[in-house]
Structures are given as C-alpha cells and as structure tokens.
Amino acid sequence: MFEGLSDRLSGILSGLTRRGALTEADVTAALREVRRALLEADVALEVVRGFTEKVREKAVGAVVVKSVTPGQMVVKIVNDELVAMLGSEAGLIDLNAPAPVAILMVGLQGSGKTTTTAKIARRLTNRDKRKVLLASLDTRRPAAMEQLAILAKQVGVDSLPIVEGQSAVQIARRAMDAARLGGFDVVMLDTAGRITLDEALMAEAAEVKAATKPHEVLLVADALTGQDAVVTARAFDERLGVTGIVLTRMDGDSRGGAALSMRAVTGKPIKLVGTGEKVDALEEFHPSRVANRILG
C-alpha cells in the first residue's frame, strides 16, 4: 500500500524540532523519500535525478516558517517544483493558422491514438464549432482505417473515404485537398502506429509531415508507460517535432509519472488527458492534480 510523501517525510523529519533553515543533511534524508515516491509513481530514473537536484538547490537553506513542520516545508517545495515542471500552459489545441489546419496524430500502437483522434474531433466540433475531417493513414491495417471511420460516425464528423492501394502520403494529400474543397477547418491525420519504435514508422510520418505542414503534432502516449516513456517521447520529438502530448488511460491505476517524464525530456506541454474508453472521456491537463497523484 502506498504511503503519501507527506507521511513519510513527517516520519523522517519528525526529530527535527528546531526551527530555522533546512540543512544539507535534513534535505538529503528527505530527498531519499522523494526519490522513492517518484520512482514508485513510475517517473523515469533520469528525470528523477534531475528533479531531486532542483529540489535540493531550493530546499537547502530554506527557512522553515513557524506554521509548518520541516516535512510539510519539503513537501511544499517538491509540490511547487512538480507543478512548475509539469507546466502551466493552457492545454488547448492551437488552431491559429489558415484553414484547413492539419493536426498530425502520432504514437505507438495501442496508445489510444485512434480513440483520441475521435475524442479531439468531437471536442473541436462541439465546443469550438469547427468543421473537422478525419483521415486514417494506417495503410497496413485496414481494421484501423475502419475503426476511425466508425468512430467518426459516432462523434458526428466526416472521415475521408477509404481508397485501397494509396500510400500514407497520398492519403494525407487527398485529405488536404478534400478539406480545401469541402470547406473544412481542421484535418486530423491518424498515422500508423507500431508496437515498437521503428524507423519505417518515423520515416513515413516525417514524409506526411513534410507534405501537409501540420500546425500541431500531437504525441498520444499511455499514462501507464513506465521507464519507456522517456525513450518514446524523445524519439517522436526528435524525429517529428512534437508540439504537444496527450496522455491516455489517466482513468487507470497510473500514478502519472509518465507525464513528468515526457514533459521533462521534450519540454512540450501535456495538452489533454484521456480518462476512459468513451468518446467524451477527454479532459484538460491540470498540473496540480497530477502532482498530487504523483506524490500520493
């Protein structure tokens, strides 16, 4: 059973009755617990290291005010730093470009990419009153193309008619042309996912990106991803220039460590979170909520 960071720190710092500044030794003991809490929340090791160093810099010498215990003081520093690192940008999709605005959806297979594409389309249609066209570029998996068409119907948006034998880039170009002709505001391109990172996947997505010049490149990632989160996020960002991240399965047991890992290695905002299988299960990202979840 997980014990919250506050409890652990008040335990180890309880002997610390004097007031005044936190010493290097106090902070070192506290940081051991912080490090454990972050690793239990599945934050990637390299990110944990960077984070604890930042907290050390802020905490050593910090004056413990009368109204709080040293443990509460460290928890506050950790919490503030987590919220700052998770980012405070409004998690909104940027549509500020001439129509049709292309949004490229990328991510590993099974991450929830196709479902998330439909969720975002629904939101852009209902909330932002945009006319959205969906297109699946998954030429190797006809079932994935069908799935997107079914989801499009379900959320009441158009999907590009499926034409067999076209490459991903050809489909993407056809989608942009159809959007221009049909007066669409937004084209969402659901790229093919793979079980693991592979060069062919990246090359194909890069080609689609060059052909369509998307305004947003959204990386869809499973919040349950552990240490791999950094590898995935870095690979997609380096190759495709991710503009934002959507974390799925935040309704599950995940403690949200992947959010911190991905944000830390890419510097890109987490824009939205998926909170269920249904097409309305999409929410804005709230750094403070995730920080609480990570700290337990």
C-beta separation of 244 from 262 below 8 A: no
d(CA 171, CA 186): 15
Strands 63-64, 20-21: pairing kind: antiparallel
Beta bridge partners of residue 105, listed in sequence order? 190, 218
d(CA 97, CA 100): 8
Instruction: Compare residues 6 and 275 and give the one whose CB is closer to ligand GDP.
Output: 275
Instruction: Tell me how far, at minimum, the Cβ of 17 lies from ligand GDP, in Å.
Output: 46
Angle, vertex CA 170, rays to CA 167 and CA 174, nearest 5: 140
Sign of CA dihedral 192, 87, 243, 40: negative
Instruction: Tell me how far, at minimum, the Cβ of 190 lies from ligand GDP, in Å.
Output: 7
Going by the annotation, the residues of the binding site for GTP are 107-114, 190-194, 248-251
Q: Which of 202, 201, 235 is nearest to 221 (CA)?
A: 235
Instruction: Compare residues 226 and 276 and give the one whose CB is closer to ligand GDP.
Output: 276
Strands 101-106, 216-222: pairing kind: parallel
Backbone angles phi, psi at 135, to 5 degrees: -140, 130
C-beta separation of 132 from 188 below 8 A: yes
**Residue length of the chain:** 296
Which residue has its beta carbon closest to ligand GDP?
274
Instruction: Tell me how far, at minimum, the Cβ of 259 lies from ligand GDP, in Å.
Output: 13
Instruction: Compare residues 12 and 235 and give the one whose CB is closer to ligand GDP.
Output: 235
Instruction: Tell me which amino acid residue 86 is.
Output: L
Instruction: Compare residues 53 and 280 and give the one whose CB is closer to ligand GDP.
Output: 280
Strands 132-136, 158-159: pairing kind: parallel
Going by the annotation, the residues of the binding site are 107-114, 190-194, 248-251
d(CA 12, CA 5): 11
Q: Which residues bind ligand GDP (CB under 6 A)?
A: 107, 109-115, 193, 248-249, 251-252, 274-277, 281
Instruction: Compare residues 6 and 147 and give the one whose CB is closer to ligand GDP.
Output: 147
Instruction: Tell me how far, at minimum, the Cβ of 154 lies from ligand GDP, in Å.
Output: 12
Instruction: Tell me how far, at minimum, the Cβ of 193 lies from ligand GDP, in Å.
Output: 5
Instruction: Tell me how far, at minimum, the Cβ of 109 lies from ligand GDP, in Å.
Output: 4
Instruction: Tell me how far, at minimum, the Cβ of 290 lies from ligand GDP, in Å.
Output: 14
Q: What is the 3-state composition of the chain as percent helix, strand, coil, each rounded to the nearest 5?
A: 50, 15, 35
